[in-house]
Structure formats: C-alpha cells, structure tokens
Amino acid sequence: MSDVQTEPGFDQAAHQTGQVAEQTAGRAKEAVAGRAAEDPSLAYRNRAEGLKNQKTRRVVADVLTHLFLAIMAVIWILPIVWVLLESFNKEQGAYQNTFFPTHYTFDNYVKLFTETDVMNFPQMFMNTFIIAVFVCLISMFFVLSVAFCMSRLRFHFRKTFMNIALILGMFPSIMAVVAIYFILKAMGLTGSSTTIIALIIVYSAGSGAGFYVMKGYMDTIPASLDEAAYLDGCTRWQVFWKIIVPICKPMIVYQAITGFLTPWLDFVMAGVIARDQRGWTVALGLWNMLQKEYIYQWYTRFAAGAVCVSIPIAILFIVMQRFYQEAMAGSVKG
C-alpha cells in the first residue's frame, strides 16, 4: 500500500503563499485606484487610448475593405471596358499586338447594320426584341395568376402541385430540350417562319413555374384587404386586378426584367429551335461571328454587337432600378 500523504507543513506553506498573492493583487488594485482618484486625467488617458486603438483598428479594416472592393470592381469592369473599346477598333482580327486598341473608328457599328449579306444582325436584333417583349408580357400574366391562386385560394392537391413545381425547378432546363423540340415539331413550329412563335411559347411556358418569389410577396399582403373588398361586393377578379396587382407592382417590375432578359441571354433553346439565320436571336448571331470562317472579319463587329445588345438591357435596369430593389426586399421578406 503506497498512498501518498501530504505533510501538514506543506499545506500550511501553500495556504500562506496564496494569501500573500491575494494581498499583493489587492494592494496593486488599490494603488491604481488611488492614483486614478488622485489624478483623474489618468483614467481619461486610459479611456482615450482604448478609443484610439479601436478607431485605428476600424480605420484599417475600412481601408482593407475598400481596397478589396476596388480591386473586385476593376476586375468586374475591365472586360466591359475592353469590349467597348474593341468595338471601335480599326484593325480587324482577333489577335492584336496590344491589349487595348490603338486606332479607333465607328465603321464597325455602321457595317454591322448595313452589311447584312453574311450576318443580318438587324434582323437578329428585331427577332430577339419581339420575342423579349411578348415573353415579358405573357410571363407576367402567368406568374401573377399562378401566384395568386397559390397564395389566396385553397383547393385539393395545392401543396402537391407546389412541391412538384419546386422539385421540377431543381432540374436544369436543358434536360427537356429534346422533348420540347419533338413537341414543337409535332405542332409544326420548327420551320424558319415559325421560329419566333415557337420561342415565345417555350420561354413563356417555362416562366409560370417560377411563381414562388411572387407568391412569397403576395403572402405578405394582409388577407383582410381581400375580405374587405369581398364585403364591398368585389368579385375575385376585381380583388386580383384592383388590389393585389397594384400592391405587387415592385414584383411585377422584377418579373418583367427577368422575362425580358431570357431571350437575350438564352443560347441552347434558340440553337435547337432556330434552324436558319432568319430565325436567329442575337445570342446565336454573336456566337456564329466567332466561328473560324468569320472571326477575322467579324471580330470587331462582334464587340459592337455585344455593346448594342447591352443597351436595351442597361436602359431597362436604369429605369427600373428603384422598383427592382423594392421587389428584391419584398421577396426576401416573403
């Protein structure tokens, strides 16, 4: 049996050492407090020094944050500036000796809209604009109608439908390209003369599945407004058109922007449906300008076309910016 027993003298010495340490710390605190009481400026200096250190750290953090944001802004805006300057480049071809052009001309824009024998860019631009306008209007009606039904009406299989729409939205749309093409082919809409109609149908039909954001916004509208309108004799259509739609104006602007952007940005669906140049959109036209048989002559015109495509989108964003921000805030709230 080998239990270790502590000697009484050792415990007493340890206890005395602890008492001495506590007394020393107490006297130090009393001394500091006494000096602060005798000299009030000492406490002020200590507080000022602490505030100065906090301010220094805050300034350093702000400088680093703004420096990082400035670098990211340059990285983001550099390609846009390059495309804009390249659209005025006087020299043809994709390979240049300098990163930025050295000689500038406006001929690229003139030739883009006048020389239409090889690439009819004005027709591509008008095709895309017509499709975008119709898709914008139709998609707004689809999304508003579906969102109103899901938000205000209660019927069988309502949640089932919402779950199915949510699950289908998780899959990329490219998975349905082949099926959509054969459906359009059976309807006789794959010809060159019906390409615009086919693209309007495809883009508009797919927009209704994105009703969740609009529904979230409608859920924030008090149901008491609907009940008061019904008591006043309004029909369901009048409640939808005169109460819900005006309140959802910010979200309508958001849906209009997204619906208008789809035809300008889509390449896959347009490439499958449009069989010849008469039905091309600007995405197909710009892509074909970079093919090896056209790239030397059309490279700078490609940059000019990219600038022209961005103009209507930029104008729409500038005009609708305030409503767009309100819409996004409302969708997050919903």
What percent of the chain lies above the pLDDT cut of 90? Answer: 15
- What's the average model confidence in pLDDT over 35-43? 54
CA atoms within 13 A on the CB side of 173: 16
Q: Are 146 and 208 in contact (CB under 8 A)?
A: yes
State whether residue 163 is helix, strand or coil: helix
Q: DSSP alpha helices (H): ranges in 174-292? A: 177-186, 195-207, 212-219, 223-231, 236-239, 245-247, 249-265, 268-273, 282-289
Q: Determine the pLDDT at residue 199.
A: 92
Burial class (CB in 10 A: 0-12, 13-18, 19+), 113: middle
Whole-structure pTM value: 0.74
Q: Which long-range contacts (CB under 8 A, 24 or more apart) does 222-229 make?
A: 223/152, 226/152
Taking only the tens place, the pLDDT of each residue in 121-157 is: 999 999 999 999 999 999 989 899 989 988 888 888 8
Q: Are 199 and 131 in contact (CB under 8 A)?
A: yes
pLDDT at position 83 over 50: yes
Taking only the tens place, the pLDDT of each residue in 214-238 is: 888 888 888 888 889 888 888 889 8
Closest CA to 131 of 198, 188, 191, 208: 198
Q: Determine the pLDDT at residue 333.
A: 46
Q: Both tokens of residue 171?
A: 């899959």
- What's the length of the chain? 334
Q: Determine the pLDDT at residue 308.
A: 92
pLDDT at position 331 over 60: no
Of the listed ranges 13-22, 262-271, 308-317, the least confidently predicted one is 13-22
Taking only the tens place, the pLDDT of each residue in 60-71 is: 888 899 999 999
Closest CA to 106 of 324, 304, 318, 327: 304
2 pLDDT band, cuts 50/70/90, is very low
What percent of the chain lies above the pLDDT cut of 70? Answer: 80
Q: Determine the pLDDT at residue 125.
A: 93
- Mean of the per-residue pLDDT values for the chain? 80
Distance CA 48, CA 234 (A): 67
Between residues 250 and 200, the one the model is more confident about: 200
Distance CA 149, CA 142 (A): 11
